Each structure stands twice: as C-alpha cells, then as structure tokens.
Amino acid sequence: MIQGRGDAEQQLLDDALAVQEAGAFAVVIEMVPADVAGRVTRTLDIPTISVGGGVECDGQMMVWTDAFGYTTGRSPKFVRKYANLAEQLEQAVGNFISDVHEQTYPSADESY
C-alpha cells in the first residue's frame, strides 16, 4: 500500500522526525510518492533509503530476488528486473536432471 498520500504526508514526516530524534541512523522509505520522499530526505539529518521512494533519497535498495528475476509472478512497480534468473535456473535444473537420467553426469572426468 502506498504510504504518505494526502493527510498521511504530515504523519509520515512526523514519524520520520521522531525516529531520527530517537537515535536512528537511517530511515527506510518504502512505497512513498517521490515528492514526499524527497521532502522527508531534505528535512532529516540522517540518510533515507528508498524502496520505491524515488531518486531524492540518499540510497536505493531492492530485494535481490526481485532485481535479478529470481522471483516469478507480479512485482511491485518499483522493481526493475536486471536478469531473468528464474528462467535460467529452471533451464539449468532441467539440464542437470536430463544429464543424470541419461547417465552423462557424472562423467569419468567428474568422478574420483
């Protein structure tokens, strides 16, 4: 669910300030409109880390299984897939199973 829209924007900023005052070293901003995340970043003295919060945050984070296509199915809007590891892994496993069934793995070179 997208956070910080409308009346919730001020509450999000207040919460971020409270976390900073409590001694946090950083704040993660997840699924927040970019303009709101930018306002939070400009207001705080500690770094903000974006998970779908736009480019104005101090750092970006994405779960590796999403970023590299290991997860299948629907992805959040902020996910950019840099590879399709699920497809590659499925093909690799199929090749391994086939080699075992055909008794071409392990070969003499791969045995002691």
Q: Which residues are catalytic?
A: 30
Whole-angstrom CA distances from 2 to 9, 21, 63, 79 are: 11, 25, 18, 15
Residues paired with residue 51 on neighbouring β-strands, in sequence order: 30
Cα–Cα distance, 86 to 84 (Å, whole number): 6
- Cis omega (within 30 of 0) for bond into 76: no
